[in-house]
Amino acid sequence: MPAATPPLDTASRSGRYVTLDGMRGIAAIAVALFHFVGDYVPQGYLAVDFFFALSGFVLYRTYFPRWQAGLGTGPFMAQRIVRLYPLFVLGVVLSAITALVKVANGGNTDLTYQDIMVSLPLNMLMLPSPVDMPLFPLNVPAWSLFFELVANFAMIVLLFRLPKLGLLAVCLFSAWWISPIMIDHHSGNIGALWSELGVGLARTAFSFTMGMLIASLNQPALRAVSWLALLCFTVIAVVLALPFDWADTPEFDLFAILLVSPMLLVLGSRVEPPAFAVPFAMFTGDVSYALYAVHWPMVDVFRYLQVRLDVSPAGMTPFYFIAVFSLAWLFSRAYDAPLRRRMSGLLRLRAAPVASPQGA
């Protein structure tokens, strides 16, 4: 008797990768917690590498056919800026406000008024600050969004033109570059500073190009519903939160970046979660970018409240998490989505041909 065919997920018919959404949501939660109480998710910074791999995968699947059909560099980059900019600039502005309040009240900060005034206009344009500190001193996690744009530009200009062996060569060269630097640095948490610009680019190049390479492989037209999707959720959460000393090593970071993240992407792109897990995966995936982009200023706010109210980090963490997750949902629905629709509409209006007068 033949084996029963596993049910097929209807989301795959529309092109949505629900398992990948869920993993992206878990990774964004890990980053937000890592920046507030790092002990809970000590490897939370590794989520960035998964984000890069996921971005390379999704953008290849979405835009490679359009590029083959004639999509140019300008229209592509405009679409990417529309996707990233509203929440990016909101995160920078909110972070600038909290930084100004900290300076005014003599809070613990390395920034001065001059640093903020110099950094703010450049950071709002998605450009690094010339101040000799993090590339984005107002909203430090924004460094990865800057590298995301660099990777997007490289994809449309160069990477789409490379064969699979060329993409593999980029991955191997990037892995060769980052491995000794991370070992010497004793951590994979690297790339946010000016002094780390090169390795930040290489870190981005490996995961982003690996995501493209995985996407270029044959993908099933329909993905089977499988409990393996829940395994993906579990593995990424465990990797980011392992509390053991042996996990707090550059060797483990490299293992997670070079092997675990690509393997999760391969598996997660081929299975979909059971029905009961779909709402969680889709919801967390939907708010993941907002959570990543705007959680940094909330870290300062809740650390201030923690000190003033004399509450332990463990006691404040649930309130921080609820607040930052609620704000991420609100910003996604009430700010990001309508603003992106308006920006996209303006782009389509500019691109539309002007009708000739009757009889011209």
Q: Residue 356 above 50 pLDDT? A: no
Q: What's the mean pLDDT in 318-334? A: 96
Instruction: Return the sign of the alpha-carbon dihedral for residues 351, 357, 359, 360.
Output: negative
- CA–CA gap between residue 303 and residue 54 (Å, rounded): 31
Give me the pLDDT at residue 346, please: 84
Q: Is the pLDDT of residue 254 over 90?
A: yes
Domain boundaries, the chain: 10-346
Q: Can you tell me the distance from the alpha carbon of 20 to that of 57, in angstroms, rounded to the nearest whole number?
A: 10
Per-residue pLDDT tens digits for 34-62: 999 988 999 999 999 999 999 999 999 99
Could you tell me the end-to-end alpha-carbon distance of the chain, in angstroms, rounded to an integer? Answer: 72
Are the C-beta atoms of 232 and 267 separated by less than 8 Å?
Answer: yes
pLDDT in tens, 146-204: 999 999 999 999 999 999 999 999 999 999 999 999 999 999 999 999 999 999 999 99
Lowest mean pLDDT across 79-88, 108-117, 179-188, 322-331: 108-117
Phi-psi category of 15—alpha, beta or left, where left has phi over 0 and alpha has psi -120 to 50?
left
pTM for the model: 0.92
Q: Is the pLDDT of residue 115 over 70?
A: yes
Q: What are phi and psi of 271, to 5 degrees?
A: -135, 160
Measured CA to CA in angstroms, residue 291 lies from 89, 91, 142, 323, 329 at distances of: 14, 10, 12, 11, 8
Give the C-alpha separation, 71 to 63, whole Å: 8
* ∠ CA 269-272-277, rounded to 5°: 130
Identify the three-state secondary structure at position 273: coil
> What percentage of the chain has pLDDT greater than the value 70?
92
Locate 290 and state its tokens.
């907002």
In sequence order, the 6+-apart residues with CB closer than 8 A to the CB of 278 are 11, 18, 272
pLDDT tens column, 332-353: 999 999 999 999 888 876 665 5
User: What confidence category does residue 9 fall into, taking pLDDT thresholds of 50, 70 and 90?
Assistant: low
What is the pLDDT of the chain when averaged over all its residues? 91
